[in-house]
Amino acid sequence: MKLLDVHNLKVHYGGVNAVKGIDFHLNAGEIVALVGANGAGKSSTLRAICKLAPHSGKLFFDGKDLAAVKSHDLVRLGIALVPEGRGIFSDSSVEENLLMGAYIHNDAKIKTDLEKIYTLFPRLKERNQQAAGTLSGGEQQMLALGRALMSRPKLLLLDEPSMGLAPLIVKAIFDVLKQIAADGMTIFLVEQNAGLALELSMRGYVMESGNIVLTDSAPALLQNPQIRAAYLGQ
Amino acid sequence: MDIFLQQLINGLVSGSIYAIVALGYTLVYGILRLINFAHGEIVMLGAMIALSVIGLLTDSGLPGLLIVSLGLLCAIPCCMLIGYLIERIAYRPLRHAPSLTPLITAIGVSIVLQNLAMMIWGKEFISFPPLIDVQYFSISEATINSVQIFIVIVSTLMMTGLNYLVNKTKLGNAMRATAQNAEVAGLMGVNANTIISLTFVIGSALAAVAGMMVTMNYNVAHYDMGFMLGLKAFTAAVLGGIGNLRGAMFGGILLGIIESMGAGYLGTLTNGMFGSNYQDVFAFFTLIGVLIFKPSGLLGKAGGERP
């Protein structure tokens, strides 16, 4: 079953066409990577799905047309974004950030969810009363991921989760993503680091200057000589 | 000691009012980065509406305290509605305009409201009818009356309540999140427009109470009373660090005390060259002084405005 279905998506900022009419989809339970160089239109694609960028084309989530859905209603449908640059609330405490993730919920399960996040990221528990802005970059990325999970999403969108982080931290974050995926979460992973993203994913799309130029299973893409040359430096 | 204690009490009373009004400025600034210059006018409208209701009920034979409370109870929802409408009609269409545009609009709204008030209530001073039996208490050489005690207590309660709302509740968490990053807060399910409307409504409710307190303290209301009061409260908010709730409270009370001390001692200090009528100058000089040495305000975070 297609969880997210995208038809002829175009994103245009003024005269600039950042995304030039792409089609792709995510099946429920899949991990799909969208890889490509800086400026290929990956983030614009995510922003359009989140209703944060001017766009045209058709977006369906769980069979529902997203045309009339506002950005602040997406989370109620089950879409959560871990934004590029993390977008944490730096003056609020770590715990307040996580509770913001559960803003749409009003039940006792919030507490168990919070404990789950603290088990996934013990460092967040140690610092739960600290202002989020005092965390290191890696901890902030964990917080952004934890906050997205607090909304109990059906689809998790990740925008460059590895950006600017030390390899060890990146590994820790991707290990958690693996765990979440094993629990059946559908994940759409936008990454410049193609090798990293494709190793985690089942399928991948390759984007170049606003178009999807290639799509295949992740293992096949990792073996593709063109991809190896262009994105994996091999 | 002579007048010190008395000036301290007077300063604390007017400072409490400044603090309540300053909170309105700081709340809106925190979320929209907008100086809502019309906020002082909402204080004035609160006073005027309350006085109109009180005027209607003066001869009704009801107990004085009840009449005053009814006046306040009518003024609060009216001001909340006015605050909501100002945001909805004047500011929301300019949400994505350059920041100078809403600022000029705010000044425009302020002028419109002031003139509207002048047309409705006239240019005369409206006095607060003697409905309450004011009690006086002496503390060593100073006196404090029941109205002043009431003002300090109610202000403290409102400040505590607001502090709790913003820092301890889910709504407050959402307000702070929206202030920091409205786009991401939206992705968590927060409707920024709702939060912004609520901010105006809460600030206006505080303003209505402040308007009532000013009128009770000075026994008069006037259509242009909101201008100077608004300016002072804005000063207080900047003094404490605008956008910071505790800063507004601290700045308000500090400004009230500085002003009152200035009024009390300026004549003696300058050998009669400047009288107590220079108290406003004293307040603004303090502001300039603070801004030179700590531009972000006393409790403000260094680094200034977020982009």
SS (H, E, C) A13-31: ECCEEEEEEEEEEEECCCE
Q: Contact, A79 vs A149, CB < 8 A?
A: no
Question: Tokens 């789950």 sit at which residue?
Answer: A116
Q: What type of residue is A144? A: A
Cβ neighbours of B174 in A, within 8 Å = 100, 103
Q: Does A99 sit within 8 Å of B170, measured CB to CB?
A: yes
Q: Nearest chain A Cα to B174, which residue?
A: A100
Note every long-range contact of B298-306, with CB atoms under 8 Å and residues 24 or more positions apart, other chains counting.
Answer: B298/B239, B298/B240, B298/B241, B298/B247, B298/B250, B298/B251, B298/B254, B299/B240, B299/B241, B299/B244, B299/B246, B299/B247, B299/B250, B299/B251, B300/B240, B300/B241, B300/B242, B300/B243, B300/B244, B300/B247, B301/B241, B301/B244, B305/B33, B306/B180
Q: Tokens for B276?
A: 């107590």
pLDDT in tens, B162-183: 999 999 999 999 999 999 999 9
Q: Does A90 sit within 8 Å of B188, measured CB to CB?
A: no
Q: Does A83 sit within 8 Å of B187, measured CB to CB?
A: yes
pLDDT band for position B1 (50/70/90)?
A: low
* DSSP assigned state of B93: G
Q: How far is A226 from chain B (nearest CA, A)?
A: 36
What is the pLDDT, as a whole number, of residue B243?
87
* DSSP assigned state of A40: S
What is the pLDDT, as a whole number, of residue B301?
74
Task: Compare CB distances from B180 to A72, A89, A99 and report the shortest one's residue.
Answer: A89
The domain segmentation of chain B, as residue ranges, is 4-293
What is the pLDDT, as a whole number, of residue B270?
77
What mean pLDDT value characterizes chain B? 92
Query: Is residue A87 left, alpha or beta, with left meaning phi > 0 and alpha meaning psi from -120 to 50?
Result: left
Q: Does B170 sit within 8 Å of A87, measured CB to CB?
A: no
Task: Compare CB distances from B188 to A52, A70, A151 and report the shortest one's residue.
Answer: A151
Cβ neighbours of B180 in A, within 8 Å = 89-92
pLDDT in tens, B281-296: 877 888 888 889 888 8
- Interval B221-228 mean pLDDT: 94
Q: Does B173 sit within 8 Å of A96, measured CB to CB?
A: yes
pLDDT in tens, B187-214: 999 999 999 999 999 999 999 999 999 9
What is the pLDDT, as a whole number, of residue B303?
52
pLDDT in tens, B16-68: 999 999 999 999 999 999 999 999 999 999 999 999 999 999 888 889 899 99
- Over its C-alpha atoms, chain B yields an Rg (Å, rounded) of 19
pLDDT band for position B302 (50/70/90)?
A: low
Cβ neighbours of B245 in A, within 8 Å = none
Task: Compare CB distances from A100 to B183, B188, B192 and report the shortest one's residue.
Answer: B188
Q: Is A38 helix (H, G, I), strand (E, B) or coil?
A: coil
Q: Please state, in angstroms and as integers, the Cα–Cα distance from residue A156 to each residue in A58, A153, B288, following that order.
A: 19, 6, 50
Q: What type of residue is B106? A: A
pLDDT in tens, B64-91: 899 999 999 999 999 999 999 999 999 9
Query: Is residue B202 left, alpha or beta, with left meaning phi > 0 and alpha meaning psi from -120 to 50?
Result: alpha
Q: Does A87 sit within 8 Å of B173, measured CB to CB?
A: no
What's the CATH number of domain B4-293, 1.10.10, 1.10.3470, 3.30.70, 2.40.128? 1.10.3470
pLDDT in tens, chain A (234 residues): 899 999 999 999 888 899 999 999 999 999 999 999 888 999 999 999 999 999 999 999 999 999 999 999 999 999 999 999 999 999 999 999 999 999 999 999 999 999 999 999 999 999 999 999 999 999 999 999 999 999 999 999 999 999 989 999 999 999 999 999 999 999 999 999 999 999 999 999 999 999 999 999 999 999 999 888 888 777
Cα torsion at B34, B38, B44, B48 (round to 10°)?
A: -120
Higher pLDDT, B99 or A114: A114
Cβ neighbours of A100 in B, within 8 Å = 173-174, 177, 185, 188, 190
Task: Compare CB distances from A103 to B176, B181, B189 and report the shortest one's residue.
Answer: B189
Q: What type of residue is B105? A: T
Q: Please state, in angstroms and as integers, the Cα–Cα distance from residue A136 to each residue in A82, A99, B139, following that order.
A: 17, 20, 54
CA distance B300 to B282: 22
Q: Tokens for B265?
A: 């001692």
Q: Is the pLDDT of residue B306 over 60?
A: no
Task: Compare CB distances from B181 to A73, A87, A104 and report the shortest one's residue.
Answer: A87
Q: Does B183 sit within 8 Å of A89, measured CB to CB?
A: no
Q: Does A99 sit within 8 Å of B189, measured CB to CB?
A: no
* DSSP assigned state of B90: I
